[in-house]
Amino acid sequence: MEWDRNRYFALGVILFFIGIQFRMVESFVLSEQSTRALHRFAKQSQISSNNGMNDILLSVAPSPKKTIQPPPWLGWALLTAGGVISLHALALPKRS
């Protein structure tokens, strides 16, 4: 698959809109299924804590929900990357 200017432009626009999303919201609340999946993934990684209380609470609690607060710089980084990629796509030669 060859990356032409349309694909670069689409990727840039998508990153730009995701950056706007991250700038507009303060935090995301995950659903119960997402929280449990994230817990299972973290439990299998080496970074996870060996706290047994987390396992007990997530298995017994009726609806655990995790809140994620993205850092403020993430939105700016995605906006910048999306803008640069979109402008780069406009500078690429058209496909013949």
Q: Is the pTM of this model over 0.85?
A: no
Predicted pLDDT at 47: 46
pLDDT of 1-43, one tens digit each?
777 889 999 999 999 999 999 999 999 888 888 888 888 887 7
Q: How many CA atoms lie within 13 A of 76 on its CB side?
A: 3
Identify the CA nearest to 39 among candidates 26, 25, 52, 28.
52
Question: What CA–CA distance (Å, rounded) separates 77 from 11?
Answer: 14
Can you tell me which residue has the tokens 């694909």? 7
Q: Which residues of 39-74 are buried (b: 16+ CB within 10 A; e: fewer)?
A: beeeeeeeeeeeeeeeeeebeeeeebeeeeeeeeee
